[in-house]
C-alpha cells in the first residue's frame, strides 16, 4: 500500500533520527546556562530549527543520492526510501532538500545577527557538509569518514555553536560535553553502515564498516557506546551529578549485546532508532545535571 503524500514526505525526513541533531543543541544550551545562569530562548529556538532543517535536507539529499548512484536496491535492509520506491521523483526530493536548506538559512540570518561572523562560518560549513554528505563527486557517506563527519558536526560544531550563541564565548566544559554527545551520534551512523554493509560493498560504497568488516565494526560500535561513560570524570567540576548519565548505561549495554548477537537484517532498523534514543537519553541526563 502506497503511503499518502504527507506520509511519504514524513518518512523521507526520517523523523526518528532528528534527535541526533537536536540533542547537541540542547546540551550546548544547558552547558551555557550552567556557566552563565542565563537562557536566551530565541537563539535556542532558531538553532534547534536550523539544525533540524539541515538534517532533514541532508536526509533528503541522501534519499535521492543513494537512488541515483544505485545504492538503494530492492535488497536493501533499511527502511523504504521515497525515491527508490517511486513515491517521489528525484527532482521533487531534491527540491525538498533545497527548501529545507533555505529554511535553515533563514534561521541562520537571525543567528548571524545575534552571534556574528563565527556563526556565518558554522552555518555555511554545516550547509556545505550536509550537501556533500551524499552529493558531489566524492560524497562523504561513500568513504570511511562518515563517523568522523557526524562526530564533528553533530558534536563539536553543534554543541559548541549552541553554547556560543548563548554566551558569545567557548569553554572547556562545552567542548567536553560536545565530545560525549558526538561520539554517541557517530554510533548511529555505525549501526546504519553495519546494517547496509553487504549492499554498500556491492555498490562501491566504502564506508568504515565495509573497510574494516563486520567483526571490527562490532568493536567500533562497542567503543562508541562506552567511551562517553568512561569520559564522564572529565566533568568532575560539576560534582557528583556528573555520574547521572550512568543511569543510561544499562540501555547501552543492552544495545551492544544486541549489536553483537543479532544477524544483520531489518532488526538493525530498531537498533538504529534505539541508539539515537540512547543519545537523547544520555544528553538529557547531561542536561539534568547541568
At 231-287, the pLDDT tens digits run 999 987 766 667 889 999 999 999 999 999 999 888 999 999 999 999 999 988 887
**Distance set, CA 43 to CA 114, 126, 163, 171, 185 (Å):** 8, 17, 10, 18, 23
**CA dihedral angle for residue 199, residue 143, residue 66, residue 179, rounded to 10 degrees:** 110
5 — pLDDT class (breaks 50, 70, 90): confident
Ranges of each domain in the chain:
7-289
What is the tens place of the pLDDT at every residue in 145-157?
999 999 999 999 9
State the chain's mean pLDDT as an integer. 91
Confidence check: pLDDT of 75 > 70: no
Mean pLDDT of the 192-211 span: 92
pLDDT of residue 1: 66
Q: What is the CATH number of domain 7-289?
A: 1.10.600
Mean pLDDT of the 143-171 span: 95
DSSP single-letter state for residue 4: P
What is the rounded CA–CA span in Å between residue 21 and residue 96? 19
User: What's this model's pTM, rounded to 2 decimal places?
Assistant: 0.92
Amino acid at each position: 500500500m502506497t503511503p499518502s503524500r504527507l506520509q511519504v514526505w514524513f518518512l523521507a525526513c526520517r523523523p526518528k533520527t532528528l534527535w541526533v541533531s537536536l540533542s547537541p543543541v540542547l546540551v550546548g544550551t544547558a552547558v551555557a546556562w550552567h556557566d552563565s545562569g542565563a537562557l536566551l530562548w530565541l537563539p535556542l529556538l532558531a538553532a534547534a530549527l536550523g539544525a533540524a532543517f539541515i538534517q532533514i535536507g541532508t536526509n533528503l539529499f541522501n534519499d535521492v543520492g543513494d537512488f541515483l548512484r544505485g545504492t538503494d536496491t530492492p535488497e536493501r535492509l533499511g527502511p523504504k526510501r521515497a525515491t527508490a520506491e517511486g513515491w517521489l521523483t528525484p527532482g521533487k526530493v531534491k527540491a525538498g532538500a533545497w527548501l529545507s536548506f533555505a529554511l535553515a538559512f533563514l534561521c541562520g540570518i537571525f543567528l548571524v545577527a545575534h552571534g556574528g561572523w563565527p556563526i556565518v562560518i558554522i552555518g555555511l560549513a554545516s550547509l556545505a557538509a550536509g550537501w556533500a554528505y551524499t552529493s558531489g563527486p566524492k560524497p562523504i557517506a561513500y568513504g570511511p569518514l562518515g563517523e568522523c563527519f557526524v562526530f564533528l558536526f553533530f558534536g563539536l560544531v553543534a554543541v559548541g555553536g549552541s553554547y556560543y550563541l548563548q554566551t558569545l564565548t567557548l569553554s572547556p566544559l562545552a567542548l567536553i560535553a560536545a565530545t560525549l554527545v558526538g561520539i554517541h551520534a557517530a554510533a548511529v551512523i555505525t549501526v546504519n553502515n553495519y546494517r547496509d554493509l553487504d549492499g554498500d560493498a556491492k555498490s562501491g560504497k566504502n564506508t568504515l564498516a565495509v573497510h574494516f568488516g563486520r567483526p571490527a565494526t562490532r568493536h567500533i560500535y562497542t567503543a562508541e557506546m562506552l567511551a562517553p561513560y568512561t569520559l564522564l570524570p572529565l566533568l568532575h567540576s560539576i560534582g557528583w551529578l556528573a555520574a547521572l548519565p550512568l543511569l543510561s548505561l544499562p540501555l547501552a549495554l543492552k544495545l551492544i549485546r544486541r549489536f553483537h548477537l543479532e544477524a544483520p537484517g531489518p532488526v538493525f532498523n530498531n537498533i538504529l532508532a534505539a541508539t539515537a534514543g540512547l543519545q537523547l537519553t544520555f544528553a538529557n541526563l547531561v542536561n539534568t545535571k547541568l
